[in-house]
Chain A
């Protein structure tokens, strides 16, 4: 069975400093992994996704994530935090494999990113 674990429930950084949001996954096959961002009282927006192409995935707003199979990790990074990055971030794995196409997603519990001026 697939699962994701976000290692930090809350991360606080200063504006202009790097961001690291950690995610570990568990999957019995090659996973499809996503990072979504949710601003307060809003829907979820896709930041980036990994689907077995390049291991370093670049997303929107300067975010990127690296898939490391040996570490079963998919950490999200950004070189320089902006105040507008303050939000909830979800690491997500697709429950589909093979010919399955239900679109079911398994969500981590989320990491709240606080950006201090």
Chain B
């Protein structure tokens, strides 16, 4: 199985743009997904298929992909966006993998 690597933490002031990266060798060939998890809650899918938003997810959440790195961008960060964010993918052998998670702090 392969690994997905995320920075442990990202900090941003309200109204600014937060960017969280996720790197993995298989990402050029496999879709990436992003989840938001707040303390004591189950994860919520915020991006699928690298850059698509499920219904109900605010437009300030967007995703992009370039080579072995995918990026979750949160534009106009709000205090309520403070959470842990996880990237996730699946490899060709039929196993799923999560990144280690990034704690987003809104200053």
* A and B pair up: no
Question: Which residues of B does A touch, CB under 8 Å?
Answer: none
Question: Which residues of A does B touch, CB under 8 Å?
Answer: none
